Amino acid sequence: MHAGGEAVAIEFAVKAPGVRDIVICGHSHCGAMAGLLSPETLNDLPAVRSWLSYADSTRRIMRKNYEHIFEADARLTATVEGNVLVQLEHLRTHSSVAVALARKQLNIHGWVYKFETGQVFAYHPIRGQYVLIEGSFLLDLDERDMASILRRTLDCVVARGVLPAERRDEVEAGLLEREQQSESRRSHDDREEQWRTLRRS
């Protein structure tokens, strides 16, 4: 992470426009993490195999701590979730990020997006687990910001062939439903606050 375009982009974002939130977002059915678990499938893809070296720590953690998970889907899910946490730790070591975190000028978040349901799970450092983002679990991100991030993730995985293009509309419909539900909650909360204000006056 400390070499190449990624480091430049992170440093510029944190220092120049003053980005306040960075989200590392993994997703279900991740082809890269599947390749990490089964490197023999990448024998004819040397560039991909080399690119996945960024996740060597994740591979070692899975081998050491998760040997008891044998079911393929469960193991892939654990790998996706674990890799998000590994990359969060890598991000913390970037000098500009470390300084911004120390000054409380930056928040970093680890998410996993479930394509099957449209749900987003965020890592909760106090609970030590991923928690469904809903109602009581609030981040310092506007719902529209979150939807924008998820759409960019969706475009990426469709372009890479991880998710069939014909399923994009289905997932997009799930995002729209989330936005509508969020807007409904905000309207309800606004009305409740107005009512409380009237009662106090």
Q: What is the arithmetic mean of pLDDT over 68-79?
A: 91
Delineate the domains of the chain, giving CATH numbers in brackets. Answer: 14-143 (3.40.1050.10)
- What is the per-residue pLDDT across 145-187, written as a single tens digit (0 to 9) for each? 666 666 666 666 566 565 667 766 776 777 677 667 767 776 7
For residue 137, pLDDT over 50 is answered with: no
Higher pLDDT, 63 or 17: 63
Q: Give me the chain's average pLDDT, please.
A: 79
What is this structure's pTM?
0.66
133 burial via Cβ count (<10 Å: 0-12, 13-18, 19+): buried
Range 62-83 burial, b when 16+ CB lie within 10 A, else e: beeeeeeeeeeeebbbbbbbbb
Q: 78-82, 103-107, 161-165, 167-171 — which is least confidently predicted? A: 161-165
In degrees and rounded to multiples of 5, residue 180 shows phi and psi of -65, -40
